[in-house]
A and B are shown apart, each in its own frame.
Chain A
Amino acid sequence: MTASTFDLESQVTGTDVELTLHGSLVLENGAELWNRLRDGVPGEAKSCRMNLAPVQDTDGAGISLLLAFRAGLLERGMSFEFVGADSTMADLLDLYGCPSGFPCAKPAPTRTAMLDQIGRASVQMITHFQETLAFVGGVLVSGARALREPRTVHWKDVGRFLEKAGADAVPIVALINFLVGLIMGLQAAVQLERFGASVFVADLVALSVTRELGPLMTAIILAGRSGAAFAAELGTMRVSEEVDALRTMSLDPQRFLVFPRVLSVMIAMPLLVLMADVVGCLGGLFVATKVLDLAPVVYFQQLQQAVGVGDVVGGMVKGMVFAAAIALIACQRGLTARGGAAGVGNSTTSAVVTILFALVILDAVFTALYNFLGI
């Protein structure tokens, strides 16, 4: 069947239009049929009759287009009538026609004003924040109960997550933090050398790594690895009814699923931060010895004077809080996932974005707090 086998005659009498269709109303002719139908009825027309008697054959697409065309005219307030349809076409028109109670025409898209969108987004953000706070409270209560009834916690998972979030993250955390130390050292070297203060590269690298960059970079890596994994895993469990199955066994998902994850990352994170501090300083050492020609012993002596136990422990404490935030936000987003694979994707994205936002906020709070406490 080709497009040449289709034709449309349009006869206008005052405000009445008679359209006569010839040939094949099939998918191959669909584009031409649609364009010519729309051009065949003038704007001032009040009624339309469509004569289908000369039509030789049709298919579902052709009938759908005729019905959509009719719906458009009815919406304009015109009257419309199909005439001359043989029994096959009449059956197809019935089959594709509008069931009672359902509008035939496609509803006009609803446009949402910008202020409306901003308002909805703001309400959603506040709701998310409230849900997260409620979730944190719930986990704290669950944690307290878990300590009273240790049997209800899946302790086996703590070891598994410690390995996944901690041991498996060692290579990437080490590499990233070594490079961070190296970059910091290189940036500092150029400036410090001009003032003959090359030795202070150790101070700059060590302090920035232990107090700030070590915990923060490690937290960002943990958010990307474990945070996303927790959100996706729990989201999948949620949409595949595994969380409901746990509840039907009277097992609290927060105690059973969330508590082991939070606990394991809170144990793993300070250790990762400590390692990050060491390898970050080694990155600085590389620059000091290879670019600034300092002796390693000079670098370490300077480092020892610059960095105190408080700096290292402060960074580890900060890391532990970051870890709790990462696990809690990821689990909360995962457990509220809805609607299959797309829902899991959305919850994972939302988890990572929220975690990064939370890390920056928490880091600012810690910086202010440590300054205030003189740490």
Chain B
Amino acid sequence: MIRAQGLAVGYGHTPLLQDLDFEVERGDIFAILGGSGTGKSTLMMHLIGLYEPLSGTIHIDGMGAPDLEQGPPRFGVMFQSGALFGSMTLLENVSLPLQKWTELPPDAIDAVALARLRLVGLGTFENHYPSEISGGMKKRAGIARALALDPSIIFLDEPSAGLDPVSADELDELILSMRENLGVTVVLVTHELPSIFKIVRRCILLDRETHGIIARGDPRELRDTSNDPRVHRFFHREGKAS
């Protein structure tokens, strides 16, 4: 579904991550893991085509290299803060890609957008503005907007970061149901261990010092079997001194 080969990413000419090779399979919930500053979000920004890789290739099935100039978009993206447009209501935010990329009449667009909002549990908030809802609700609205055009892949940047445990768990359930009921491939960036163990099937773990991938596979297996002290520390929440 998504294949990265010999990928080097970064800003300017300095690679933050290099020699990255990985594949995301259809229907997977795939996580890009790592501590703060390892380049998880940077890698995601390159995967979705916001930035050109310094070297290497990214291939997305049915699209080739990600190209945001060629609409309509083949994937949905939820940014860390939700990135909702402050001057629009939630319904208008979710309607926007439908207005721009479909021939649906306005009332049909409203119906589809409202269904997306209901799916993420915001069915009664359609006329609220982003400033009137909580952080967790903004993230859910961001997911609703990302799902607007029924993409086959959805990218989520730190979906449960900063949320209370109950909201984070609800979001995890939503991601699981997106995969099971909508068949969406999910690529997410996170370092929230409870979410990782609950929803992620395969992952790569990035490391700041080696600028690359130090582990890959099922996060539960990595937690239980990896002998690499860096992997052990990450999955057991241990600092270097522990």
Chain A residues close to B by CB (< 8 Å): 151-152, 160, 236-237, 240-242, 244-245, 247-252
If A152-B100, A251-B100 touch, does A241 touch B79 (CB 8 Å cutoff)? Answer: yes
Q: Are B100 and A248 in contact (CB under 8 A)?
A: no
Q: Which residues of chain B are within 8 angstroms of A249 by Cβ–Cβ distance?
A: 71, 73, 96-97, 100-101
Q: Are B84 and A248 in contact (CB under 8 A)?
A: no
Instruction: List which B87-106 residues lie within 8 A (CB) of chain A.
Output: 87, 96-97, 99-101
B85 CB within 8 Å of chain A: yes
Q: Are B71 and A250 in contact (CB under 8 A)?
A: yes
Q: Which residues of chain A are within 8 angstroms of B45 by Cβ–Cβ distance?
A: 244
**CA distance in complex: A160, B87 (Å):** 11
Q: Are B69 and A250 in contact (CB under 8 A)?
A: yes
Q: Which residues of chain B are within 8 angstroms of A251 by Cβ–Cβ distance?
A: 71, 96-97, 100
Within the complex, what minimum Cβ distance (angstroms) separates B106 from chain A?
Answer: 12
B50 CB within 8 Å of chain A: yes
**CA distance in complex: A152, B142 (Å):** 21
If A247-B50, A248-B48, A248-B50 touch, does A240 touch B71 (CB 8 Å cutoff)? Answer: no
What are 15 A-B pairs at a CB distance below 8 A? A151-B100, A237-B86, A241-B83, A242-B83, A245-B85, A247-B68, A248-B73, A249-B100, A249-B101, A250-B68, A250-B71, A251-B71, A251-B97, A251-B100, A252-B69
Q: Are B100 and A245 in contact (CB under 8 A)?
A: no
If A151-B100, A152-B100 touch, does A250 touch B72 (CB 8 Å cutoff)? Answer: yes
Q: Are A250 and B80 in contact (CB under 8 A)?
A: no
B225 CB within 8 Å of chain A: no
Q: Which residues of chain A are within 8 angstroms of B50 by Cβ–Cβ distance?
A: 244, 247-248
Cβ contact of A244, chosen from B72, B83, B97, B99, cutoff 8 A: B83
If A248-B48, A249-B73 touch, does A240 touch B100 (CB 8 Å cutoff)? Answer: no
Q: Which residues of chain B are within 8 angstroms of A160 by Cβ–Cβ distance?
A: 87
Cβ contact of A245, chosen from B75, B79, B87, B101, cutoff 8 A: B79
B77 CB within 8 Å of chain A: yes
Which residue of chain A is the closest to B72 with respect to CB atoms? A250
**CA distance in complex: A245, B70 (Å):** 15
Within the complex, what minimum Cβ distance (angstroms) separates B96 from chain A?
Answer: 7
Cβ contact of B101, chosen from A240, A250, A252, cutoff 8 A: A250
Q: Which residues of chain B are within 8 angstroms of A245 by Cβ–Cβ distance?
A: 77, 79, 83-85, 142, 145
B81 CB within 8 Å of chain A: yes
Per CB-CB distance, the 5 closest pairs between chain A and chain B, nearest first, are A250-B71, A245-B83, A241-B83, A248-B77, A241-B79
